[in-house]
Amino acid sequence: PRLHHHHLPPPGHVRQGGSPPQELGPQVHPQHQPPAPPLTALFEDIVGGGEANAALANAITFMAHSGQDATIIVSKNSGRYRVQGGCFEALWLLGSELARRLTVHFANAPSEGAEPFEITCSDELPLAPYFSLVDRHHACRRALHTTRADLEAKGTLFRATQKRLVVRFKDRNPASVDELGALLTRTYDGIIEATEGGERQERELA
């Protein structure tokens, strides 16, 4: 079969208005030469032009379809960017898109005698939220593994109890099946509970 690879930017949209969120989340301060272009020029295909978007010259907030947002803020004094996000994932989405657009911008408009464009960051990477996500994902994986093992054990017990009930019913003088019936009911309820718990854990991993 023929394959064609094409890289698409992450989905998101611009929150109208230039006011960044009041609550600060993880943030980075990318450094680069030459000076940064205006935000409205860098993201012209998204925000458009005209006086209506003049407020976006100093700050643009992007919100992904998941509801997570991140903001690019331009310093009025130094003209440098600051990228801050409500969470680590949003920070990465916007930061990677900003780096891509800056690279394309300076590649298409090189300055004579200028040094090759590169982006550096002297900030300490905000890895604590990332490690928290990894720990939560690992805990959810372990819980799902335990749930599946429990579901398998309950399924084995349920089938064994069914067979014992069939044998008891075939006996000419069967003993009481009340205990087996109660065990079958409890096992069935446990299977339903484990199944619902496993479905919740799978949704958390999705």
Q: What is the mean pLDDT of residues 45-56?
A: 65
Note the pLDDT tens digit of each residue in 62-112: 877 777 788 888 877 777 888 888 777 788 888 888 888 888 888 776 666
Q: What residue type is assigned to position 130 of the chain?
A: Y
Q: What is the mean pLDDT of residues 163-174?
A: 83
pLDDT at 137 over 60: yes
Return phi, psi of residue 42, to 5°: -70, -35
Percent of residues, the chain, with pLDDT higher than 90: 25
Quick one: pLDDT at residue 200? 93
pLDDT at 10 over 80: no
pLDDT at 61 over 90: no
Q: Do the strands 81-85 and 69-74 form a parallel or antiparallel pair, or are they unpaired?
A: antiparallel
Angle between helices 178-205 and 127-170 (to 10 degrees): 160
More confident residue, 188 or 21: 188
Token representation of residue 29: 């301060």
Highest mean pLDDT among 28-37, 96-105, 123-132, 195-204: 195-204
| Nearest CA-CA partner of 9 in 41, 45, 54, 34 | 45
